[in-house]
Amino acid sequence: MPSLNTGSDRISRRRLLFATALAALPSQARTPLQHRQPRVITLEYHATEMVLALGVTPVGVADTGGYSRWVGVEKARLATAINVGNRQQPSLEAIAMLRPDLIVAVDFRHASLKALLERIAPTLMLSSSEREGLAAVFEDHRQLALTLGLETRAGLALTVLDDCLARERNRLAAAGWAGKPLAILQHIAGVPQMWAFAGNSVPGGVQKALGLGGPWLHERARQGITVKTVEELLVLDVTLALLGGAPPQTPVWKQAPAVRHERLLVLPDGLWPFGGPVSTVRLVRALSTALLRRGHADRP
């Protein structure tokens, strides 16, 4: 029998239960923030990475296991962090119990929870609108650092990223890769489809910053991703860089020009292409290394 509960009923009940739980929490005196490390809860992977890069260990993290698996940057420091649920539906009760000074969320997951989160603590809601992905890495890190009063630390991480981009751009230009077309893809396991990184993605921004061309750099997409079928790659005569492990072993894939002409670069596992200054440095280095290992861009 179908449930008669509407979505609004469920939301109202959740609000009521949360408000009751919040009211029941004992009040505690707080040590002034300038005399201790801020208590931060992060609800998205790149937010977790940014907080760690600023030298702060979050007290709560959404999906600690997923972060360790997919991102991995300084994951050992999360040993003391409390898992507060998954990224899409974090536990408001668990968040409230940790008494954070700041919650870092993202609008595409948490906009509907903003009012509830702000009842617990000030909430920094990072924007996911179709911004330039690489620029957003810099902007988000500076914004978070400013919120926490750690601007100097942000400058250190972003200087490393800036220097890495400049150095690898020069190395690639010397090897003839300036302006050469490259398509960055990530295999979707179990289906003959790929995520293709558009111009407003982090990988797309990295391509442009490194002086590379690409078939999708003029495109903009939600969160920087479009889906391409393997068949669409049959007319794409460019070098391919593949994230996320082994390519699909299908007859159609093997007919793609990049595969037939040995212009396929399989990047190492463990690269996170959705933001965070340390992850982006890793992506830049891995991409540049793979291109330079192939040799001069005009090599047959």
d(CA 218, CA 225): 13
Token duo for residue 34: 């300038």
Of all residues in the chain, what percent carry a pLDDT higher than 70? 86
How many domains is the chain built from? Answer: 2
Give the range of the structural domain holding residue 285, as residue numbers without chain letter. 153-296
- Rounded to whole angstroms, what are the CA distances from 239 to 205, 266, 287? 17, 11, 12
pLDDT one-digit tens code per residue, 5-47 = 444 444 455 555 555 455 444 444 444 455 568 999 999 999 9
Secondary structure letter of residue 191 according to DSSP: S
* Domain-embedded: residue 24: no
Q: Which pLDDT value is given to residue 33?
A: 53
Band of residue 182 on the pLDDT scale cut at 50, 70, 90:
very high
Band of residue 192 on the pLDDT scale cut at 50, 70, 90:
confident
Band of residue 126 on the pLDDT scale cut at 50, 70, 90:
very high
CATH number at residue 53: 3.40.50.1980
d(CA 300, CA 296): 9
d(CA 96, CA 123): 12
d(CA 272, CA 22): 35
d(CA 65, CA 72): 9
Same domain? For 103 and 209 the reply is no
Q: pLDDT higher for 95 or 269?
A: 95
* Domain-embedded: residue 236: yes
pLDDT one-digit tens code per residue, 58-81 = 999 999 999 999 999 999 999 999
Q: Which pLDDT value is given to residue 31?
A: 47
Q: pLDDT higher for 128 or 51?
A: 51
Same domain? For 168 and 106 the reply is no
Same domain? For 83 and 194 the reply is no
Of 82, 111, 128, the domain-final residue: 128
Q: Which pLDDT value is given to residue 10?
A: 47
Mean of the pLDDT values across residues 104-121?
95
Question: Do residues 9 and 81 lie in contact, with contact meaning Cβ atoms separated by under 8 Å?
Answer: no
* Domain-embedded: residue 140: no
* Domain-embedded: residue 108: yes
Q: Which residue has the tokens 């890769």?
A: 177
* Domain-embedded: residue 271: yes
Question: Do residues 69 and 274 lie in contact, with contact meaning Cβ atoms separated by under 8 Å?
Answer: no
Residue 183 has pLDDT above 90, yes or no: yes
- Which of 28-32, 102-106, 107-111 has the largest mean confidence? 102-106
pLDDT one-digit tens code per residue, 216-248 = 999 998 889 999 998 999 999 899 999 977 788
Same domain? For 102 and 210 the reply is no
* Domain-embedded: residue 197: yes
d(CA 29, CA 43): 26
Mean of the pLDDT values across residues 151-171?
95
Mean of the pLDDT values across residues 180-198?
89
Of all residues in the chain, what percent carry a pLDDT higher than 90? 71
How far is CA 103 from its chain centroid?
17
Residue 300 has pLDDT above 90, yes or no: no
Helix 133-148 vs helix 45-53: crossing angle, to nearest 10: 60
Q: pLDDT higher for 170 or 151?
A: 170
By CB neighbour count within 10 A (0-12 exposed, 13-18 middle, 19+ buried), where does 223 fall?
middle
Residue 103 has pLDDT above 50, yes or no: yes
CA atoms within 13 A on the CB side of 71: 26
- Rounded to whole angstroms, what are the CA distances from 275 to 3, 128, 198, 281? 40, 11, 14, 10
pLDDT one-digit tens code per residue, 243-285 = 977 788 888 988 999 999 999 999 998 999 998 999 999 999 9
Question: Do residues 200 and 220 lie in contact, with contact meaning Cβ atoms separated by under 8 Å?
Answer: yes
Q: Which pLDDT value is given to residue 37?
A: 87
Provide the mean pLDDT of the chain: 87
